[in-house]
Amino acid sequence: MNALEIDNISKRFGSLVAVGGVSLSVAKGELRAIIGPNGAGKTTFFNLISGFFPPTTGKIVFDGVDATLLPAHRRVELGMARTFQVTEIFPELTVFDNLRIATEAANGCRLRFWMSREQNLKIERLVDETLELVGLRAKAYRLVGELSHGDQRAAEIAMALSLRPHLILLDEPTAGMGDQETFEVTKLIRRLHQSGNFTIVLIEHDMRVVFHLADKITVLDRGRLLAEGTPQSIAANHAVQEAYLGKAA
């Protein structure tokens, strides 16, 4: 069974077809990169998978469950987590509290008015583990809004991890980063991939990152599937080169 099975999905905004009939399957444990020129519909595609809005047509099956019409928070319960192109965090709270909220939400505490001492300790231990995993323990009590851009991205990935997902959707995890920060985040993503616990789908513009990380690459262009395959086959694909560089005259 594949982690993610998408069948002929499309999204229309008025007369604009943002995504027009894309099918995709991602195997368990795979790291899939989605690339494409600006306006190719990559983020819309992510929004459809994560339940930001429902598709116009098509079907999404996640871990064998038909998730096409499920609201976002139900998909999170099923084990899907995402980050955003523009970092979405709780800027006025500490890193620890950011992760604590995520961890509590994932452990069914979000509607609780009371927690026992053991539960509280368990949550704090889980938060500590996640902090360790992404290397933010030293900054646990800093406000997230005060961290560097790279650390904020890491904090956002940590929040996604706190949800104990099987599938992580990363929307341009290295956007706006310098070389050193890009390197750190790439290392983190590879570590997550190698742990074998996650299926990862990421949108990325930095081709070094994509070719370094991905098992398979999907290329979107103007809302349609242009090509799909291993990094080597995509690098050699003429249609992809044309989409990025324009047709040779």
Q: Which residues, including other chains, have CB under 8 Å from residue 228's CB and lie 6 or more apart?
A: 24, 216, 217, 218, 219
Smallest separation, CB 220 to another protein (Å): 22
Q: What is the CA radius of gyration of the chain?
A: 19
Query: Does residue 40 belong to the site contacting another protein (CB under 8 A)?
Result: no
- State which of positions 49-88 bind another protein (CB under 8 A): 50, 71-73, 76-77, 81-82, 84, 88
- State which of positions 110-129 bind another protein (CB under 8 A): 110-115
Tell me which residue has tokens 């930001």.
52
**How many residues interact with another protein (rule CB under 8 A)?**
32
Nearest to 46 by CA among 216, 228, 202, 221: 202
Contacts 24+ apart (CB under 8 A), 237-245: 243/36, 243/37, 243/219, 244/37
The single residue among 4, 159, 210, 213 that binds another protein, judged by CB under 8 A, is: 159
Smallest separation, CB 79 to another protein (Å): 10
The single residue among 39, 54, 64, 91 that binds another protein, judged by CB under 8 A, is: 91
For binding to another protein (CB under 8 A), which residues are involved?
50, 71-73, 76-77, 81-82, 84, 88-93, 97, 100-102, 104-106, 109-115, 141, 159, 163
